[in-house]
Amino acid sequence: MKEIVDIGIGSLALGFLLMVIPIAGFIYFKVKIVKETVIALIRMVIQLSLVAFYLEYIFAWNNAWVNVIWVCVMILVGTFTTIKRAGLTYRFFILPFAISGFISILILDAFFLGFVIHLDYVFDARYFIPISGMVLGNALNHNIVGISNYFGRLTKEQDLYYFLLVNGNSRKNSLAPFIRSAIKSGLNPLIATMSVIGLISLPGMMTGQILGGSSPMVAIKYQILIMLAIFVGCSLNLMLSILLANRFAFDSFGRIKANLFKK
């Protein structure tokens, strides 16, 4: 097996020169996201550097409680980020979104790590944390799209919802077209990605394993399982988020509560 080629600090810094291209484009087209982009880059470097530092200790310690707490922190960070990016108010959505994340990760990790991969120690940090992180990271992106679509349409098209409701439909049936639209908008990008994997791009996990010395066949098998976990996780998380959030977003008469969105 070939030795893994490390990347020096100088080479890593050189890679940042590529950012000149999009930033120059932003300036030319007067797109005011240069500051946000630079801040995001700085945060990415700091956060990933810290992750590399403390994951060394977490992997070496490999304590089930520490690993579970770390995944719980990731779920909570994802919950707050989803609410913030969707422009919603925290008081209505922290609990339903957090519960959705916990249930999704519990089901997926138990099934894939325990029954599919057959790990003797399901909480093994080298599997439990990265796989949970990949599922949560993807679920975050698709949740934001789906949730924004759902509550955005409900707010803008309240007349349609109330029309369906007062004409003999249950709240479930009145919300059905909005839920369908939210699920489609949230998951369509992921379905498109799945349909072209291997043709247009090699996914990150597969590429990382190959660069790390694994055979392409082993990397492909892991990538297939990861894509299944990601798709199920994103779907389950989005649907649960909508269903649980409905318990907080409507009053007992089926009316949409005020102040769902931040002003």
pLDDT digits (tens, 9 = 90+) for 63-90: 999 999 999 999 999 999 999 998 898 9
Task: Give the helix ranges, DSSP H, for the chain.
Answer: 9-15, 20-28, 34-61, 64-85, 90-109, 125-156, 158-166, 171-196, 204-211, 216-249
pLDDT of residue 167: 85
Q: What is the mean pLDDT of residues 210-234?
A: 82
Between the alpha carbon of residue 190 and those of residues 109, 165, 200, 241, the distances in Å are 20, 32, 14, 18
pLDDT category at 2 given cuts 50, 70, 90 is low
Place of tokens 């990347």: 7
pTM metric for this prediction: 0.81
- Of 2 and 201, more confident: 201
The SS3 call for residue 3 is: coil
Task: For the beta carbon of residue 96, count every other beta carbon within 10 angstroms.
Answer: 20
- Best CA proximity match to 88, nearest among 249, 252, 254: 249
* Residue 139 to residue 238: CA distance in whole angstroms: 7
* pLDDT, position 4: 62
Tokens 């908008």 belong to residue:
185
Q: Give the percent of the chain with pLDDT over 70.
A: 92
- Determine phi and psi for 15, rounding to 5 degrees: -60, -25
**For residue 35, which amino acid is it?**
K
Banded model confidence at residue 126, pLDDT cuts 50, 70, 90: confident
pLDDT band at 194, cuts 50/70/90? confident
What Cα–Cα distance (Å) separates residue 194 from each residue in 39, 107, 135, 189? 31, 22, 14, 9
Mean pLDDT of 135-161: 91
Stretch 152-159: mean pLDDT, rounded? 89
Mean pLDDT value across residues 101-124: 90
More confident residue, 211 or 257: 257
Q: Apex CA 237: angle with CA 174 and CA 66, to 5°?
A: 150
